[in-house]
Amino acid sequence: MKRGLPTLLGVPFDGQSSYLRGAADAPPKIREAMHCDACNSWTELGVDLGRKETWHDAGDLEFFEEDAFSAIENALSEIVAAGNLPLSLGGDHSITFPIIKAFARKYSALTIFHFDAHPDLYDEFEGNRLSHACPFARIMEAGLAKRLVQIGIRTATHHQREQAARFGVEVIEMRSLPAVEEVRAQLKAEGPVYISFDIDVLDPACAPGVSHREPGGMTTREAINLLHAIQGEIVGADFVEYNPVRDVSGITATVAAKIVKEILGKMIAE
Ligand code: MN
Ligand code: MN
């Protein structure tokens, strides 16, 4: 391995969800779908995830401490400090703030590619600054990332558009989603890259198992093609907001496993 080991870590936390709980149950369901005999272990880019030495599953984070965010930040810091490359399975999107805090201890000038129906840039949501509607406001105001590129956005409020302008966020809105070829340059990063994938970026027809269904989203195919087009040194990723309580016959778990496999494959290959 020329770089650290991609390391899967379940983060079963949904305590900052504003509407519905359930995302905390996601990690084992995603793992189950990843290992289902209905599909093989290869990714589309030709990586065999069946080769055990190429990645590690660290299991699920256990929350012994009273403060979940500290537990998340500490667990991620340990993986990052060991030189490895965490791929966290949420959980709600609030976990990305403590995760990025851990990354910022090691990496300056992070580029974050953020797939989501929502900008998650609220200064506060219903009086809560740590809500899953706020992580990217916290990350940007703390200067923890050099670039934030948001892809698939289709719910921006006036306030969130102001926030995006204030933080210099590059927004690729869903209503004008360009062809992959047109955004290839924007999906290229100098320095370390982090991918944050909120599954509600997908159309609810593809992935109904989310708390906030937002029609008019990406197909699974479009999302995978955009992920494949990312160029740079991927040092970590998260996959969040799958809510098994809202799933229909496990279809969202299958889609989640597919996306996680493709992200993992890119982390191994590049
Ligand atoms: Mn989100
Ligand atoms: Mn979302």
Between the CA of 52 and the centroid of ligand 2 the distance, in Å, is 32
Class of 6-269 in CATH: alpha beta
Q: Can you tell me the distance from the alpha carbon of 226 to that of 45, in angstroms, rounded to the nearest whole number?
A: 13
| Ligand (nearest to CA of 152) | 2
| Ligand (nearest to CA of 117) | 2
Query: In this predicted structure, what is the pLDDT of residue 51?
Result: 96
For CA atoms 245, 249, 250, 254, give the dihedral sign: negative
| Ligand (nearest to CA of 121) | 1
Between the CA of 123 and the centroid of ligand 2 the distance, in Å, is 16
| Ligand (nearest to CA of 94) | 1
Query: In this predicted structure, what is the pLDDT of residue 1?
Result: 42
> Cβ of 126: how many Cβ atoms within 10 Å?
8
Neighbours of ion ligand 1 (CB under 5 A): 93, 116, 120, 198
Between the CA of 53 and the centroid of ligand 1 the distance, in Å, is 32
| Ligand (nearest to CA of 92) | 1
Q: What is the DSSP string of 151-185?
A: EEE----HHHHHHHHHHT-EEEEGGGPPPHHHHTT
SS3 for 95? Answer: helix
Report domain extents, the chain.
6-269
Between the CA of 2 and the centroid of ligand 1 the distance, in Å, is 32
Between the CA of 67 and the centroid of ligand 1 the distance, in Å, is 21
DSSP state of 22: -
Query: In this predicted structure, what is the pLDDT of residue 82?
Result: 96
Between the CA of 119 and the centroid of ligand 2 the distance, in Å, is 7
Residue that has been written with the tokens 């703390």 in this structure: 142
Between the CA of 104 and the centroid of ligand 2 the distance, in Å, is 23
Q: Can you tell me the distance from the alpha carbon of 144 to that of 97, in angstroms, rounded to the nearest whole number?
A: 9
Tell me, yes or no, if the pTM score tops 0.85. yes
Q: Write the pLDDT tens digit of every residue in 195-204.
A: 999 999 999 9
Between the CA of 100 and the centroid of ligand 1 the distance, in Å, is 14
Q: Write the pLDDT tens digit of every residue in 218-241.
A: 999 999 999 999 999 999 999 999
Between the CA of 89 and the centroid of ligand 1 the distance, in Å, is 13
Between the CA of 32 and the centroid of ligand 2 the distance, in Å, is 23
> Cβ of 228: how many Cβ atoms within 10 Å?
16
Instruction: Give average pLDDT by consecutive 10-residue segment, the chain, 270 residues.
Output: 85 95 97 95 96 96 90 97 97 98 96 98 97 98 98 98 98 97 97 98 98 98 98 97 97 98 94
Between the CA of 51 and the centroid of ligand 1 the distance, in Å, is 31
